[in-house]
Amino acid sequence: MATFTTGHIALANTNMNASYRPVLIDFHGYEGEDFRHFLEILESYFAINNITQEPRKLTILKAQLRGAAKVYYEKEILKRIPGVKYDNATELLTNHYITPELIQSYELEFNEMYQGEQEHPQIFLARLREAADLAGITQEPVIEKQFKDYARLD
């Protein structure tokens, strides 16, 4: 017979989860913003809300663009391609905002990463993997070398 220890059991509140909607963020096109992060949140929103129609996706994309990004979309993309499709618009925005200089800055940050004094090695490795992804570093040996060189495995 199985025995169970007594203690607190937390159950998910199904009423709250049923109405969960991810929060959309705006994209301004400022330095330090990563369009890929914005796009990832946007795509999650579409998936959770079962938004599959091209015109609706394009409308939501446009609604979340602000400042310089909105100007670029309206004055450059729509001017050149008046009937632009969602996939084409996101590709053009990605090419415009994910520049070689941005990737290079992520590479530099990756190369300067080290494990914090109170940081668990697994957390450091997770940070390295995320930084490598942002920098476009796909070779596992590069990540492993950075981990071995800067991890505190005492």
Give residue-wise pLDDT tens across range 137-152: 999 999 999 999 988 8
Q: Residue 141 has what pLDDT?
A: 95
Confidence bin at 28 (pLDDT 50/70/90): very high
Q: Residue 151 has what pLDDT?
A: 87
Convert the chain into a string of H (helix), E (strand) and C (coil): CCCCCCCCCCCCCHHHHHCCCCCCCCECCCCCCCHHHHHHHHHHHHHHCCCCCHHHHHHHHHHHECHHHHHHHHHHHHHHCCCCCHHHHHHHHHHHHCCHHHHHHHHHHHHCCCCCCCCCHHHHHHHHHHHHHHHCCCCHHHHHHHHHHHCCCC
Confidence bin at 32 (pLDDT 50/70/90): confident
Q: Residue 84 has what pLDDT?
A: 97
Q: Residue 20 has what pLDDT?
A: 64
39-71 pLDDT, tens digit each: 999 999 999 999 999 999 999 999 999 999 999
Q: Is the pLDDT of residue 112 over 70?
A: yes
